[in-house]
Amino acid sequence: MKLIFKICILVLAVAVYKTNGLCNTCSLIGIACVSETAFSICNDGALDPTVTPTECPTGTFCSASDKVCTASLTEASCTKCKECIEGSEYACVNYTSFTFCTAGVMGVEHYNCPANLACNIASTPICSDPSATGLGATCGRGGPTTAAPPTTTPNPLTDPDTYCLNKGVAGRFNITSDTTCRLFVSCVTVGAVLTGNVYECPPATIFNATAQRCATGTGCATS
């Protein structure tokens, strides 16, 4: 009797796994859900980065079952949107925005990913090209949504790390609120994560964003 019970539990677990497979994980039928509402094709058990993800019809969700797209949210494979995952300091709040997690609680300020990038908690940095990486996005483009608070542009003077993460690219950038034209933020990649520091040009010079350096001149030179 105990053996039969264990077998039944195992079969049930396998059935749940097949239906609610992990996000960005290839299923037995050769597809992987890359968001709550989109899927992509797998080749040799791995996501094909050359394939553009396909959106499920409006009102349906991606499932690792043979249905692929289902109207049942309980069968959806990617359900980590608007959720702080253990071990992650970020959470995706929609297809192109993210927030910070503190003790498992989502922050109230939302930050936009750079143009053409999507939020995915499986990628580093958290904003990536969903087509190039093959990872898709944590949140789908469609399906039921809830109103989100306005996105906030990080202040490089008080939070240069978040500013650089939101910028999405390494480089030196002028600080538009600086009337002296001497301050700039330097974004560098450290361990695959963008971090930032604020620097001040020497006296009698200004920061030239086009040249990416301090130089003599008058007025703020922006890129």
Domain contains 4: no
Cβ neighbours for 34, distance < 8 A, ≥ 6 positions apart: 23, 24, 40, 47, 53, 62, 78, 130, 134, 135, 136, 137
Lowest mean pLDDT of 77-86, 149-158, 181-190, name the range.
149-158
C-alpha 125: how far from chain center: 7
pLDDT of residue 21: 47
For 198, counting Cβ atoms within 10 Å of its Cβ (0-12 exposed, 13-18 middle, 19+ buried), the class is: middle
Domain contains 223: no
Confidence of residue 4 (pLDDT cuts 50, 70, 90): very low
Cβ neighbours for 113, distance < 8 A, ≥ 6 positions apart: 96, 97, 98, 119, 126, 127, 166, 168
Summarised one tens digit per residue, pLDDT across range 85-110 is 887 888 888 888 898 888 888 888 88
HSE toward the beta carbon, residue 74, CA cutoff 13 A: 1
Residue 65 pLDDT greater than 80, yes or no? no
Q: Is 163:185 a contact under the CB 8 Å cutoff?
A: yes
The more confidently predicted of residues 107 and 73 is: 107
Summarised one tens digit per residue, pLDDT across range 122-177 is 788 888 887 666 667 787 664 333 444 445 567 788 888 888 888 888 888 888 88
pLDDT of residue 7: 31
pLDDT of residue 151: 53
pLDDT of residue 12: 33
The more confidently predicted of residues 9 and 153 is: 153
pLDDT of residue 23: 67
From 25, 59, 75, give the residue that closes a domain.
Answer: 75
Domain contains 175: yes
From 60, 75, 90, give the residue that closes a domain.
Answer: 75
Kindly state the average pLDDT of the residues 4-19: 33
The more confidently predicted of residues 102 and 1 is: 102
The more confidently predicted of residues 80 and 198 is: 198
pTM of the model: 0.44
pLDDT of residue 180: 87
Domain contains 180: yes
Alpha-carbon gap, residue 50 to 146, rounded angstroms: 31
Domain contains 205: yes
Residue 78 pLDDT greater than 50, yes or no? yes
Q: What percent of the chain has pLDDT over 90?
A: 0
The domain containing residue 190 runs over which residues?
Answer: 160-215
Lowest mean pLDDT of 52-66, 149-163, 170-184, 186-200, name the range.
149-163
Total domain count, the chain = 2
Q: What percent of the chain has pLDDT over 70?
A: 79
Domain contains 109: no
Domain contains 202: yes
* DSSP-assigned states of every residue in 61-85: EE-SSTTSEES-GGG-S---TT---
Kindly report the average pLDDT of the chain as a whole number. Answer: 76
Domain contains 171: yes
